[in-house]
Amino acid sequence: MADDVWQVAGRSFTSRLIVGTGKYKDFAQNAAAVEASGAEIVTVAVRRVNIADPKQPMLMDFIDPKKVTYLPNTAGCFTAEEAIRTLRLAREAGGWTLVKLEVLGEAKTLYPDMVETLRATEILAKEGFEPMVYCADDPIAAKRLEDLGAVAIMPLGAPIGSGLGLQNEVMIRIMVEQAKVPVLVDAGVGTASDAAVAMELGCTGVLMNTAIAEAKDPVLMARAMRLAVESGRLAYRAGRMGKRRYADPSSPLAGLI
């Protein structure tokens, strides 16, 4: 796969699987899952430090930001202003301009608010950020995001944390076809075959958290996802056979006894 790198904001990556770092039993399990996934990018959240107990273990003690790219997110933000404030802090905490923007519309569906998302993307790009943007499966909004400076388009496959698999293959394929920046499915993957489906549609990559963290064996699922993303990518590159309505024998018809 070494010859099949992808790029975002001028950086090259080999792994097409981005994993979250939430919902794990503990940091050790989280780190083991990241290792097994082969991910070169992990998403992280920005939160207040625990002043009451500052000696508690921290994510950075287990997942080294020098070895794995931290992609700070804006999870929990419902307005452009909240998201921008969060990412300004993230840039200061880490020194990174590559960030994941998500502006949510409401808590039940965690569906993106595209008006706020577009507004935040424009401001962030002007401030020098390189936002990878969680968005609706809307090819028109995706084009607008790209025009405003999104460095990657990340449509949901299904609601965040639902594990329902891709509900919108047609729209995601259209988004992939038209985009000039990477398109990654972000959210909705439940199991390995879902990740493979996303990659077979031609997506640049897949971002997931819950599908790994809430598996009975997260480290084993992380490995399954790594292989699914790789095999889906290979299948996309190989070009699948055409579909037929009826059977077509694989053994020669000539020479039958």
Using the contact rule CB under 8 A, the part of the chain among 6-14, 23-31, 139-147, 236-244 near another protein is: 23-31
The yes or no reply on residue 59 touching another protein (CB under 8 A) is yes
Q: Provide the 3-class DSSP secondary structure of residue 243.
A: coil
Among 36, 40, 69, 70, binds another protein (CB under 8 A): 70
Using the contact rule CB under 8 A, the part of the chain among 1-9, 69-77, 172-180, 222-230 near another protein is: 69-77
How far, in Å, CA of 118 to CA of 103, rounded?
Answer: 9
Q: Which of 100, 108, 126, 143 is catalytic?
A: 100
Q: Of 189, 181, 183, 224, give the one whose Cα is nearest residue 201.
A: 183
How far, in Å, CA of 197 to CA of 178, rounded?
Answer: 19
How far, in Å, CA of 208 to CA of 81, rounded?
Answer: 25
Among 160, 197, 198, 229, binds another protein (CB under 8 A): 160
Residue 67 is a catalytic residue: no
The yes or no reply on residue 69 touching another protein (CB under 8 A) is no
Q: How far is the CB of 178 from another protein (least distance, A)?
A: 27
How far, in Å, CA of 112 to CA of 134, rounded?
Answer: 7
**Is 153 within 8 Å of 182 (Cβ atoms)?**
yes
Among 9, 32, 45, 164, binds another protein (CB under 8 A): 45
How far, in Å, CA of 39 to CA of 186, rounded?
Answer: 14
Q: How far is the CB of 77 from another protein (least distance, A)?
A: 12
Using the contact rule CB under 8 A, the part of the chain among 41-49, 163-171, 177-185, 194-202 near another protein is: 41-49
How far, in Å, CA of 71 to CA of 94, rounded?
Answer: 10
Q: Residues 185-214 vs another protein: string with x where CB under 8 A? A: -----------------------xxx--x-
The yes or no reply on residue 60 touching another protein (CB under 8 A) is yes
Among 17, 39, 40, 72, binds another protein (CB under 8 A): 72
Q: 3-class secondary structure for 116-174?
A: HHHHHHHHHHHCCCEEEEEECCCHHHHHHHHHHCCCEEEECCCCCCCCCCCCCHHHHHH
The yes or no reply on residue 43 touching another protein (CB under 8 A) is yes
Name beta bridge partners: 104: 112
Interface with another protein (CB under 8 A): 20-24, 27, 30, 43-49, 51, 54-55, 58-60, 65, 70, 72-73, 75, 85, 88-95, 160-161, 208-210, 213
Q: Could you list the active site residues?
A: 100
